[in-house]
Amino acid sequence: MNFLIIGLRSGYHFERLQEEAEKRGHKVFGALSSQLYAKFIPGKKAIFGIRKLGVKLSEIDLIYTWTISYPRKWDWFVFLKWYVEKYGGKVVYSKYVNDATCANLSPVLNYWNELKKSVLLPRSLAFYSVNSIKKVLKFFDFPFIVKIYKEAMMSQGRGVFLVRSKEELRQIVEKYQKETRRFIAREYIPNNGDIRVFVVGYKAIAAMYRIPKEGEFRSNISQGGSAEPVDLEKNQQLKEIAEKVAKATGVEIAGVDIMLHKYTKTPYVLEVNPGPQFRGMETLTGVNVAEKIVKYFEKLVAQKKKTGFRLFK
């Protein structure tokens, strides 16, 4: 089988997936979102392609959209529908093909879906400009969290601020409101860190407890935090929550972040990451994450069912 990963062409994660795929007789190819092109011939057909791919699209059995740059997502969604219709291949994430809506990318929709599935979230508010500051301050007491949805700041704890005053909130919003799609304000949950649960095919396979460094509220390893493995067999509640929220948001391969309240131990879901890194997870837990992802690809291709979506002649 041939697998194509969008958003990866090199580095640890790409090489690990290549390694495990080759062990099982498959090949992995990579492409950046900028390599896509589309041609439209009046009265005839639409033709999509990926520059310098090294393999024919007709020979690709599955496409994994690990990450796509935001401005190009909508074009890629059209391409993915075309690919499934023309070649009958599989796509991860399937919601990009099945739902036919750009709302898939909205954290607001994710929160809504999670609440419908009775997932416990921190109290949250989406807002879009400095004009909403009064509304935010009526909803939260200090301190609280503000997350900026700007592409360059949406991973590894970047773009996440602990806000302690009205002036601090105003400065953050004024600085970023022209370059962000939205802000999410979220209540601050007292904690000793958070738990990243790795999910493949809606099944939790590994987890680690991330502990922030002294003086830091973010527990990301990239922000200087440390980590230790979590035994999911002894923590069935975490496993069930991660699987439930992955299904609710339609994210088949996910990094689900869960925080336990420092005093009540109540679990809150913070985020569902659709392009999770797994180097630390493999190293810390000993779980072969890359192999499990490849096996999931095999399972999807074996199903070989079309979505039924018709877009092009």
CATH of the domain at 215: 3.30.470.20
Q: Using CB atoms within 10 A of its CB, is residue 308 exposed (0-12), middle (13-18) or buried (19+)?
A: exposed
How would you classify the pairing of strands 183-187 and 144-148? antiparallel
Q: How far apart are CA 285 and CA 270, in angstroms?
A: 22
Q: Is the pLDDT of residue 309 over 80?
A: no
Per-residue pLDDT tens digits for 133-153: 999 999 999 999 999 987 655
Predicted local confidence at residue 313, as pLDDT:
47
Asked whether 225 and 196 are in contact (CB, 8 A), the reply is no
CATH code, domain carrying 129: 3.30.1490.20
- Please list, in sequence order, all residues whose beta carbon lies within 8 angstroms of the beta carbon of residue 1, skipping any fewer than 6 positions away: 21, 25, 26, 27, 61, 62, 297, 298, 301
Number of domain units in the chain: 3
| For residues 55-59, average pLDDT | 95
- Please list, in sequence order, all residues whose beta carbon lies within 8 angstroms of the beta carbon of residue 44, skipping any fewer than 6 positions away: none
CATH code, domain carrying 84: 3.40.50.20
Residue 114 lies in a domain: no
Predicted local confidence at residue 312, as pLDDT:
52
Last residue of a domain, one of 187, 210, 231: 187
Q: How far apart are CA 272 and CA 251, in angstroms?
A: 8
Judge if 183 and 253 occupy the same domain.
Answer: no
Predicted local confidence at residue 103, as pLDDT:
45
Judge if 79 and 128 occupy the same domain.
Answer: no
Judge if 281 and 212 occupy the same domain.
Answer: yes
Q: Phi and psi dihedrals of 35, rounded to 5?
A: -85, -5
Judge if 182 and 205 occupy the same domain.
Answer: no
Distance of CA 291 to the CA centre of its chain: 19
Judge if 182 and 198 occupy the same domain.
Answer: no
Judge if 232 and 162 occupy the same domain.
Answer: no
Which residues form the domain of 240? Answer: 194-287
Last residue of a domain, one of 164, 187, 210: 187
Q: Specify the pTM.
A: 0.89
Q: Is the pLDDT of residue 308 over 60?
A: no
